[in-house]
Amino acid sequence: MKLEGARILITGGSSGLGKEMAKVLKNAGANIVITGRDADKVSRVASELNVFGLAADASLEADVLKTYVFVKDKLGGLDVLINNAGFGTFALLEDITAADLENVFKTNVFGAALMAREAAKIFKAQMSGNIINISSTAGRKGFAHGTVYAASKFALSGMTECWRDELRKFNVRVMQVNPSAVPTAFNVEDRTEKELQDNKLTPTEIAHAIKSMLEMDNRGFIPELSVWATNPF
93 and 42 Cβ atoms separated by less than 8 Å: no
Q: What is the predicted pLDDT for the residue at 231? A: 86
CATH code, 7-227:
3.40.50.720
Average pLDDT value for residue range 47-52: 98
Q: What is the predicted pLDDT for the residue at 186? A: 58
**pLDDT exceeds 80 at position 194:** no
| Mean pLDDT taken over the chain | 94
Active site residues: 149
**pLDDT of 28-46, one tens digit each?**
999 999 999 999 999 999 9
Q: Where are the domains of the chain?
A: 7-227
Classify residue 139 by burial, with Cβ atoms within 10 Å: 0-12, 13-18, 19+: buried
Average pLDDT value for residue range 172-199: 75
In angstroms, rounded to a whole number, what is the distance separating the alpha carbons of residues 212 and 206? 10
**pLDDT of 113-164, one tens digit each?**
999 999 999 999 999 999 999 999 999 999 999 999 999 999 999 999 999 9
Distance in Å from the first CA to the final CA of the chain: 37
**β-bridge pairing 31-36 and 52-55:** parallel
Q: What is the predicted pLDDT for the residue at 191? A: 46
Task: Give the model's confidence band at 192: pLDDT under 50 very low, under 70 low, under 90 confident, else very high.
Answer: low
Q: What is the predicted pLDDT for the residue at 187? A: 52
**pLDDT exceeds 80 at position 14:** yes
16 and 193 Cβ atoms separated by less than 8 Å: yes
